[in-house]
Amino acid sequence: MKNLPLQKFLYSLLAFLCLSLFFACDSSKESNDNATQEVENTEENDAADAAEPPSSYDDIAEMLAVQTNYSEEQNSLKKLDNGSYQVFVTVTTEDTDYILSTLKNSLLTVVFRTFIHTEANEITVEAIPLKIIDATQAPVPLDKQMQKISVSRDKAQQVMKDFIALENFNGLVGESMGDMYLKDRANEKLQKLVTEDYGDPGMNKVFDALSK
């Protein structure tokens, strides 16, 4: 019984050492996780710099005709006298939520493709929905549901950096398929910015950030 105080002291010391070790390990894990994320982000940006660069164009309209579904030849793209662009997006419904999502996807695709493939410093584009009635009638423009966005290269780059920790627009395209490397193919990073199908951030957050 004379050793009871000593035993209590040893138990207390052991408990203190175990708690100290636990918190030290937890802190070390958090530091390692942060360091790992920083390394991954750096590696992604380095990979974007090193990969075969995407196709480049001097003319935005020419680029859009190749890299998107919009072209002047198909009457789905129009360049205005003030230098801005209109894209015409066909829809089969007047559901406002569906149309808004479709237009956001179109606008963001045009914006990021512009900065990926051209040297343009800014882009202004309107997306106008055209409702298809039937094969015998011309599509009806739903002008009240038109959406417009104007974005600078610096703004798009900052939003991209904030949301997916990527600084180089080249990193938004390029995927391997077997032995082939498709340098202009949209990868998951671009899909995360222009759709809601690939998780955060999603096009709604990106569109709001670019519209501020």
Domain assignment present for residue 8? The answer is: no
Residue 160 is part of which domain span? Answer: 60-211
pLDDT at position 3 is 52
Q: What is the pLDDT of residues 133-153, one digit of tens each?
A: 988 999 999 999 999 999 999
| pLDDT single digits (tens) 75-90 | 999 999 999 999 999 9
Question: Is residue 170, in this structure, part of any structural domain at all?
Answer: yes
Q: What does the block give as tokens for 157? A: 């780059």
From 132, 172, 124, select the one nearest 149 (Cα to Cα): 124
- Over residues 50-72, the mean pLDDT reads 94
> Any alpha helices (H) in 51-177, and if so which ranges?
60-67, 96-117, 153-164
Each residue of 18-31: b (16+ CB within 10 Å) or e? eeeeeeeeeeeeee
Within a domain: 106:
yes
Report CA Rg, the chain.
26
| Backbone phi, psi, residue 59, to 5° | -120, 130
User: 196 falls in which pLDDT band (50, 70, 90)?
Assistant: very high
Per cent of the chain over pLDDT 90 is 74
Q: Is 126 helix (H, G, I), strand (E, B) or coil?
A: strand
Element (H, E) at 84: none
Q: What is the number of structural domains in the chain?
A: 1
Residue 180 in any domain: the answer is yes
Report pLDDT for 43.
52
pLDDT beyond 70 at 64: yes
User: Model confidence over 178-195: pLDDT tens digits?
Assistant: 999 999 999 999 999 999
φ/ψ (deg, to 5) at 40: -65, -45
Is residue 54's pLDDT more than 80? yes
**Residue bearing tokens 């002047």:** 72
Q: What is the predicted pLDDT for the residue at 18?
A: 54
d(CA 72, CA 77): 5
The answer as to whether 3 is a domain residue is no
Instruction: Provide mean pLDDT across the span 202-209.
Output: 98
Tally of CB atoms within 10 A around 139 = 15
Q: Name the phi and psi angles at 103, rounded to 5.
A: -70, -40
* Domain annotation covers residue 201: yes
- Predicted confidence at residue 15, as pLDDT, reads 56
Is the per-residue pLDDT at 71 higher than 80? Answer: yes
10 vs 93, which has greater pLDDT? 93
Q: What is the pLDDT of residue 135?
A: 84
- The predicted-structure confidence for 101-137, as pLDDT tens digits, reads as follows 999 999 999 999 999 999 999 999 999 999 999 889 9
What's CA 17's distance to the chain center, in Å?
47
Question: Is 1 a residue whose pLDDT tops 50?
Answer: no
How many alpha carbons fall within 13 Å on the CB side of residue 3?
3
φ, ψ of residue 91 in degrees (nearest 5): -135, 160
